[in-house]
A and B are shown apart, each in its own frame.
Chain A
Amino acid sequence: MGAKRKKIGEIVMMGNEAMARGLLESGVQCATSYPGTPASEILEAVIRFKKQEKVPLFAEWAINEKVAFEQALAQSYLGRRAAVSMKQVGLNVASDPLMSAAYIGVKGGFLIISADDPGPKSSQTEQDSRFQAFFAKIPVFDPSSPQEAKEMIPRALALSEKYAIPVLLRPTTRVCHSRQPIPLYPLPEPNPEASFEKNPARWAATPGFRFKLHQELNRKLEAMARENPVLKNWKEPAEKKPLAILASGVPYALVHDFLLDKKMLGQIPLFKVDQPFPLPVQEMKKFLKPFKSVLVLEETYPLIEMQLADGLRLRGRRDGLIPAEGELTVDVLHRVLAELLGWEKMAETVPEPKGRRPTLCAGCAHRSAFWAIKKTFPKGIFPGDIGCYTLGINMGVVDTCLCMGASITTATGLYQGFNASGREVPPIVATIGDSTFFHAGIPALVNAVHQKAKFILVILDNSTVAMTGGQPAPNLATLSDGSPAEPIELERMVRACGVEFLEVVDPYDVQKMTTVLKKAGAYIQDEKNGVAVIIARHPCMVYGRQLLPERPAARVVIEKEECDGCGFCVTQFDCPAIVQEVKKQPARILEEFCTDCGTCLTVCPKKHIRREAS
């Protein structure tokens, strides 16, 4: 970055916005992503800043993380700085290109931002992306705050260019979704350079060359470990203490604040690790050797601890002092320090209350579709998928949920297992959202059709990625900057997968949805038929407002005098607009939530939910 830049302002930003600003300030010319909590707002902010600052960079959502990774990597081949962001499980999807890119290397700086979710709060796993970096043999930065995440971006890109290697930045939810004042620096002049230098021994390396590239990678790692600035800011304490603390990422901020509050900052030697892999292991061990014990604070798996394992008395996750799962909270930290320092026993920590369970919005058409499925196939098995509609679990219409796109493969496997065992095959109805279908459902559907698996697939099409904030799906006609896109029509895609039975229905019409489900159920009974697909199409109540049909004029009501308080609608339909405060008393519609969609008219077994005459 050269000469010291001049600060031009300061504004309060969320961690994800701070990272987006950091990408622009570092002259990144390509940013791609697939949405996923807690990383979604990174690319959203890049797109917003791009418009505000009129920066000519490529910024777009991709169909999945592997695709996002590869298209950004190719821009790095041209010498352009590129970044790809995603949530931790997204990096699993992109792990194939990740492993190879480490060997092959990069040209323009290439940054991978993979946001972890200790807890987990909004994820399938609380896996540690730093271990993905370790596995792929690439360096990783571990920020402790939004400000630091932004500051690390130019450092990471410079390292990437110096060693021609992809670099990972690993924020966690507490960095992504924290907000603090962020200093702003001017954006660099746009760099229009883009050239591809042919070098098949690198960019198209065959196994023989890959061996050489692996040797090269190992040498890079050794050099980067030596250059890891971890020891630079460490000062030998004037007198050796029995305990030293080694902390990385958010746990560093936690222990700092904890010691600050206890007025103990400076009393226990506290060392920070910005770049937990690769570490200068021997030098660190020499430095830490005189301490009787070293407490290692990191999230979520013990990466630093593993590297320093031999020859030091380490305390942390490996010896069970810190629980091996869950977020490292300040309460956990307090307990750990109390034990190490022999403080008196603390009161029990109150477990995080379960809180209210999330539900689909009132008027959400996913609920209408789930209701029709449940009514039509009371004995069905329901493989589900990742998105808002995972909440169909509340209605008993999601029996499995593994990872993106797995509803279709699970349905395939269940069918084949029942079929091969000679047992009767129960009705299998899989559900998947439109964006998840595009993400990982297409190969799964081709496979199912080809192998003649017999199940019903309902694609819940709300034409957006709703769970993560309404990002565009590939069935839309515009790109994120408003320029025209080629809309990929779901019907054509499904047909192209070889599907013969395809019906499109608005699930608000429960009657029709039920008829179509029955027809599909009959279709898959026939020996010669395979998968039946139903597209249940209705815009999202939150992110598709402009597409929603006009609200019915007649309001939905529960006749108080008629309702016998059986509670069927409340337990079976799970709509936030219908409540029953007291058991066996009449249920009530909350007018402020109700959208008058009318699906519940088909729910009450006694027909006591009706439309007011208009």
Chain B
Amino acid sequence: MKKQIVIVGTGGQGVLFVTRVIVEAAFLSGQPVISSETHGMAMRGGSVISQVKIGKYLSPAIEQGRADVLLGLTPEEAQAYGYYLKDQGIRVINSRDQGKGMIDAEGLARKMGQPRSGNMIFLGYAAKQSKIGLEHSKYLEAIERLSPAKFREQNSKGFQAGYSFLIRK
């Protein structure tokens, strides 16, 4: 299996956590995986970008126009970093707008009464739409392992809600 995934958003949105869950799910599936993260100055509300490569790679760096999947936790960052995606690559975006590959994860989170689980709802939706090829159960196991005890249930519920979210045509 070979997959190159770019995840973008802004500091404080949980881009790092989404990245970690995907990496852990790949690891639990027995796949070699490597990812990069943004830390430091940019975390204070700036643009944040993570890269994940599943397969026998040594580096997490992804070349422009080579990513199989782009996950945008904001439409603005998804737009700005869109050049990473290859032709026919899959784009999943967290947005208040509606359209192909889009979900309003924050809106859904508020409706569910757990406003902080937008990132997990988004990930659930992305897991299904992006065809990364990792099993649903591996994501759940990864969320279980990585979530602090008090957010564990909320995160799994968020992921499930996103996963079963139906795209309105």
Contact = CB atoms under 8 A, between A and B. Distances in A.
B41 A358 contact: yes
B44 A358 contact: yes
Contacts of B160: none
B46 A178 contact: no
Nearest to A258: B63
Contacts of A146: 34
B59 to A, nearest CB: 3
21 contacts: A12-B27, A12-B33, A38-B40, A121-B41, A179-B19, A179-B36, A179-B37, A181-B32, A256-B59, A257-B53, A330-B59, A350-B64, A353-B81, A355-B47, A356-B76, A358-B41, A358-B43, A359-B46, A360-B44, A361-B45, A388-B44
Interface in A280-334: 329-331, 334
A29 interface: no
The interface centre, meaning the residue of A254, A331, A334, A355 with most chain B CB atoms within 10 A of its CB, is A355
Interface residues of B, number: 40
A257 B40 contact: no
Given A331-B63, A349-B64, A358 B34 contact: no
Interface of B: 10-11, 19-20, 23-24, 27, 32-47, 53, 56-64, 66, 76-77, 80-81, 83, 115
Contacts of A73: none
B41 A257 contact: no
A144 interface: yes
Contacts of B81: 353
Nearest to A360: B44
A300 to B, nearest CB: 15
A252 B57 CA distance: 11
A257 B58 CA distance: 6
A261 interface: yes
Interface of A: 12, 14, 37-38, 121-122, 144-146, 174, 177-181, 250, 252-254, 256-258, 260-261, 329-331, 334, 349-350, 353, 355-361, 388, 391, 467-468, 576, 592
A359 B10 CA distance: 11
A329 B115 CA distance: 37
B40 A37 contact: yes
A257 B66 CA distance: 12
Given A356-B46, A358-B45, A361-B45, A144 B62 contact: no
Given A179-B37, A355-B80, 14 more contacts: A12-B27, A38-B40, A121-B40, A144-B59, A145-B59, A174-B59, A174-B60, A178-B34, A178-B36, A179-B23, A257-B53, A330-B61, A349-B64, A356-B10
A395 to B, nearest CB: 14
A467 B41 contact: yes
Contacts of A253: 57-59, 61
B37 A14 contact: yes
B73 to A, nearest CB: 13
A122 B43 CA distance: 10
B60 A178 contact: yes
B39 A38 contact: yes
B44 A256 contact: no
Given A12-B24, A353-B47, A391-B44, A177 B38 contact: yes
A260 B40 CA distance: 31
A330 B58 CA distance: 13
A122 B57 contact: no
A250 B34 CA distance: 13
A334 B63 contact: yes
Contacts of A181: 27, 32-33
A37 B66 CA distance: 28
Contacts of A467: 40-41
A177 B37 contact: yes
B106 to A, nearest CB: 9
B61 A254 contact: yes
A59 to B, nearest CB: 21
A12 B23 CA distance: 8
B19 to A, nearest CB: 8
Contacts of A252: 58
Given A177-B36, A180-B34, A37 B45 contact: no
Nearest to A361: B44
Contacts of A145: 34, 58-59
A179 B35 contact: yes
Contacts of A592: 115
Nearest to B48: A355
Contacts of A353: 47, 80-81
A355 B46 contact: yes
A121 B34 contact: no
B34 A179 contact: yes
A519 to B, nearest CB: 32
Contacts of B11: 358
Contacts of A256: 58-59
Contact of B40 (A122, A179, A391): A122
Contacts of B115: 592
B36 to A, nearest CB: 5
Contacts of B83: 350
Contact of B39 (A37, A261, A350): A37
Contacts of B60: 174, 178
Contacts of A180: 23, 32-35
B50 to A, nearest CB: 9
Among A12, A349, A361, which residue has the most Cβ atoms of chain B within 10 A? A12
Nearest to B61: A330
A333 to B, nearest CB: 8
Q: Which 6 A-B pairs have the closest CB atoms?
A: A355-B47, A122-B40, A37-B40, A253-B59, A358-B46, A253-B58
B58 A358 contact: no
Contacts of A360: 44
A356 B35 contact: no
Contacts of B59: 144-145, 174, 178, 250, 253-254, 256-257, 330
B77 A576 contact: no
Contacts of B63: 258, 261, 330-331, 334
Contacts of B42: 121-122, 355, 358
Nearest to B49: A355
A121 B46 CA distance: 12
